[in-house]
Amino acid sequence: MRKISRIGIFAHPEKSEAVKFAQELETWCRQMNLEVFHNYEDGKLDAVLACGGDGFLVKTAEAIAERGFQIPIAGVDFGTLGFLTRIKPKEIGRRMDDLLEGRYVVTERNRLQAKWMRNGSNMGFYQALNDIYVERSEAGTIKFSVSISGKEPFTKRADGVLMATRTGSTAYNRVLGGPILVFERDFVLKMMGPTEIDNQNAFVISSDDTVEISNVTDNKARLVADGKQIGILRGIDRVKIEKSSLATRFIEFGDVDW
């Protein structure tokens, strides 16, 4: 890959150690004659470093994607799990050398997009890097129908239903006991707290598949994208979830596997 010269540095504002680290990193970068920015510079950046946890990295990736940019991003780990924020603070010197010398690759991670429809009217269009799901908004389970790529729908009663990318398979999907994906070509479709145990509670589907959720228990379910509530569904609503035309670009180093 090419050597970087223009870099964006962002820190989680509520993590003082991340803010201090980002300030020190900025000083070092300027000493190395790198241009440092705290905005997305109309997409004209070689890389973005997000100092925080996995959640902050996802929010940073969302900010890049919603602007239509394709800036490669890497995370410096100031969180708890660090599935996505792969750079440890103590190894930043080595990783900055890798970036300066072009010793890295850029991989593309699939994103999801959801279209929310009500009586033929578009209620909204939403994007997510990790997952999009429908879940109960109050006590008790909800009933809903699910169709995969136009096939005969099946009906479930559960706490909800989640669709996750490979990136998101290590997030909420993992907490729910869903499979962790190895290949970018796959998505996960996972029932949340199903009331019956059968072979229709977790699926590994193709990233080319489209999932439609309908007939949801009226006014008792909410639509969520990457942990952010979008709204409350009605029984007449339909939600179509599929692969987004936008991808998130991650900076990867040769000695880190994932």
Are residue 119 and residue 240 in the same domain, yes or no? yes
pLDDT-derived band at 196, boundaries 50, 70, 90? confident
Query: Would you say residue 199 has pLDDT above 90?
Result: no
Query: Would you say residue 258 has pLDDT above 70?
Result: no
- Per DSSP, the three-state class of 17 is helix
Structural domain span for residue 205:
111-245
Are residue 119 and residue 207 in the same domain, yes or no? yes
Per-residue model confidence (pLDDT) at position 80 = 66
Are residue 188 and residue 219 in the same domain, yes or no? yes
Indicate which residues carry an active-site annotation.
54
The residues that bridge with 192 in the sheet, in sequence order, are 160
Are residue 204 and residue 117 in the same domain, yes or no? yes
Distance CA 127, CA 112 (A): 6
| Neighbour-count burial of 61, counting CB atoms closer than 10 A to its CB (0-12 exposed, 13-18 middle, 19+ buried) | buried
Distance CA 234, CA 215 (A): 8
Last residue of a domain, one of 103, 120, 149: 103
User: Under 8 Å CB-to-CB from 15, ≥6 apart: which residues?
Assistant: 51, 52, 53, 78
Are residue 98 and residue 117 in the same domain, yes or no? no
- CATH number, domain containing residue 92: 3.40.50.10330
Are residue 137 and residue 168 in the same domain, yes or no? yes
Predicted model pTM: 0.88
Reported as a single tens digit per residue, the pLDDT across 44-74 is: 999 999 999 888 999 999 999 889 899 999 9
For range 191-200, the mean pLDDT:
82
For range 12-19, the mean pLDDT:
95
Query: What is the number of structural domains in the chain?
Result: 2
The residues that bridge with 42 in the sheet, in sequence order, are none
Query: Would you say residue 83 has pLDDT above 70?
Result: no
Are residue 118 and residue 232 in the same domain, yes or no? yes
Are residue 117 and residue 99 in the same domain, yes or no? no
Flag the least confident range among 5-14, 80-89, 101-110, 178-187.
Answer: 80-89
Reported as a single tens digit per residue, the pLDDT across 102-141 is: 999 999 999 999 999 999 899 999 999 999 999 999 888 9
Per-residue model confidence (pLDDT) at position 257 = 52
Inside any domain, residue 257: no
Closest to 46 measured CA to CA, from 12, 73, 28: 73
